[in-house]
Structure 1
Amino acid sequence: MAGDWTDGQNDAIVADYFAMLADDIAGRPYSKAEHNRLLQAVIGRPRGSIEYKHQNISAVLKGLGEDWIPGYKPAFNFQASLVDAVVRWLDRHPAWLAPAAKSETGASASAFREDAMLWIGPPPTHSNAPPPDELEQMTVIARKYDVAGRDARNRSLGRAGEERILAHERASLLSAGRTDLAERIRWVSQVDGDGAGYDIRSFDTDGSDRLIEVKTTNGWERTPFHITRNELAVAEAHREEWRLVRLWNFTREPRAFELRPPLEAHVSLMATSYQASFL
Structure 2
Amino acid sequence: MPTTQESLWQPIKKALSHDGWTKLQSIYSTVETEIDFDDEDLQPEATDSSQPAWKKNVRNVLQSQKSRGEVLHQRTAKYKLPTTGDDWSYSEVDATVKDYFEMLKLELQNKSFNKAAHNRSLKPELNNRSRGAVEFKHQNISSVLEEMGLPYINGYKPYPNKQTLLKEVIIDELQSDERLQNLFEQLAAKPAQKTSLFQKESDLDSVFTDPPDFINSSKDSQDRNRKGAHIDFAQKEAQNRKLGQQGEEYVISIEKRRLQKIGRSDLADLVEWTSKEKGDGYGYDITSFNEYGDEIFIEVKTTKLSIKQAFFVTANELNTSEELSDSFQLYRVYNFSNNPKVYILKGNLAEQLNLIPTEYRAEI
Query: 2-side partners of 1:70 and 1:139: how far apart?
Result: 26
Given that 2:141 and 2:158 are in contact with CA atoms closer than 8 Å, whether structure 1 keeps it comes out as no
Structure 1 runs, 4 residues or longer, greater than 6 Å off: 6-9
Residue in 2 that maps onto 1:91: 181
Match of 1:244 among 322, 327, 330: 330
TM-superposed deviation, 1:198? 0.2
Residue in 2 that maps onto 1:58: 142
Change (3 A) 1:191 1:90: farther
3-state SS of paired residue (1:79)? helix
Residue type of the partner of 1:66?
P
Larger radius of gyration: 2
Residue in 2 that maps onto 1:35: 118
Spell out, residue by residue over 1:63-87, the C-alpha distance to the aligned partner (whole angstroms, 9 max, x if none).
Answer: 2253533445424132323134356
Match of 2:294 among 205, 208, 211: 208
Query: 2-side partners of 1:71 and 1:222: how far apart?
Result: 16
Given that 1:65 and 1:218 are in contact with CA atoms closer than 8 Å, whether structure 2 keeps it comes out as no
Residue in 1 that maps onto 2:170: 82
Given that 2:299 and 2:329 are in contact with CA atoms closer than 8 Å, whether structure 1 keeps it comes out as yes
Change (3 A) 1:10 1:231: same
Give the unaligned 5+ runs of structure 2: 1-12, 14-69, 71-88
- Say if 2:102 is the partner of 1:15: yes
TM-superposed deviation, 1:238? 1.0
Residue type of the partner of 1:252?
N
TM-superposed deviation, 1:140? 5.8
Percent identity of paired positions between Structure 1 and Structure 2:
30
TM-superposed deviation, 1:61? 2.8
- Say if 2:231 is the partner of 1:141: no
Change (3 A) 1:172 1:202: same
Query: 1-side partners of 2:107 and 2:141: how far apart?
Result: 12
Change (3 A) 1:201 1:67: farther
Given that 2:283 and 2:299 are in contact with CA atoms closer than 8 Å, whether structure 1 keeps it comes out as yes
Given that 2:189 and 2:236 are in contact with CA atoms closer than 8 Å, whether structure 1 keeps it comes out as no
Give the unaligned 5+ runs of structure 1: 104-108, 130-136
Which structure has more relative contact order (CA 8 Å, sep 6+)? It is 1
Query: 2-side partners of 1:266 and 1:223: how far apart?
Result: 15
Tell me whether 205-214 or 220-229 shows the greater mean CA deviation.
Answer: 220-229
Tell me whether 202-211 or 86-95 shows the greater mean CA deviation.
Answer: 86-95
| RMSD after superposition | 3.3
Spell out, residue by residue over 1:5-25, the C-alpha distance to the aligned partner (whole angstroms, 9 max, x if none).
Answer: 4878744431124436777xx
Residue type of the partner of 2:207?
W
- Say if 2:193 is the partner of 1:193: no
Change (3 A) 1:17 1:233: closer
Please show how residues 56-135 of structure 1 align to structure 2 within 5 Å. Answer: 56-63=140-147, 64-76=149-161, 77=163, 78-86=166-174, 88=177, 89-93=179-183, 94-98=185-189, 100=191, 103=193, 109-111=194-196, 113-114=197-198, 117=204, 119-125=207-213
Query: 1-side partners of 2:141 and 2:186: how far apart?
Result: 19
Query: 1-side partners of 2:278 and 2:180: how far apart?
Result: 34
Given that 1:162 and 1:199 are in contact with CA atoms closer than 8 Å, whether structure 2 keeps it comes out as yes
Aligned length: 256
